Amino acid sequence: MDIYDLIIAVVTAGGGGALITFLGIRSFGDAWLNSKFEQKLEAFRHDRAKELERFKFENDSAFKARDRIQEKQFEGCMSIWASLKDAQSKLLVSINELQRYPNIRWMTDHKREEFLREFDFPKSTQDEILSSDDPQALFTKIISRQRFIEAAEEFSKFDRVTRTYELFFDQTTFELIRSVTDAMHEVLLDKEMYLDGHKESGRAAWTQYQEKCVPAIRALVSKFQEILKIESL
């Protein structure tokens, strides 16, 4: 039945009043439905806007967190590398088998005393060297011990720096970093044993450095280049 047939049926059944009532109800119904539709549509838009805002917030937060981690990783790579180089240079001075020492054996007592004043030795240490039956041997031993202490102190700084940035590296990368500290620590232990009288440990320290420290440092270089996106030359 089309709209015209419906109107005729309403008029026939109830007259003009029925038609007016019908049209009024229809008009009211259309307005009510439109109002409800607009309310639902507005609520839908509001919910979608809130959802989009939440998504943007979470997305921005994720990007900011990633950027902060990358910044800390960059900072960590640079700090660890600088500290490693300082520790490595001191370690090499300490374990180098071709170390040279000033020769004080043939100096006069006066010249030897003047020379020793140039070193940062306590007065008691200077007196001990000057009064020794073999001042050259004692002087060499003290210098070797001092170089070892400097290497150990620089290693301790390196060790602390690596631990400071543990939070910002994945487990595999941090284990690689720690493999360098572990290898250097073993070398220092061999050197200390040599200074305490275990002569065979002197050669062991250098061998340990070549066989363990060098490969571990090379692996760390590759990893840091990867993190910093530096192309290998």
pLDDT tens-place string over residues 210-221? 999 999 999 999
Angle at 198 between CA 148 and CA 195, to 5 degrees: 20
pLDDT at 232: 46
Assigned token pair, 71: 């910044």
Does 12 score more than 70 pLDDT? no
Average of pLDDT values for 5-19? 57
**What's the pLDDT tens digit per position in 25-39?**
566 566 666 777 777
Compute φ and ψ for 204, nearest 5 degrees. Answer: -60, -35
Answer yes or no: are the C-beta atoms of 192 and 144 closer than 8 Å: no
For the full predicted model, state whether its pTM sits above 0.85.
Answer: no
Q: Cβ neighbours of residue 42 under 8 Å, at least 6 residues apart?
A: none
Q: Cβ neighbours of residue 80 under 8 Å, at least 6 residues apart?
A: 158, 161, 162, 165, 177, 224
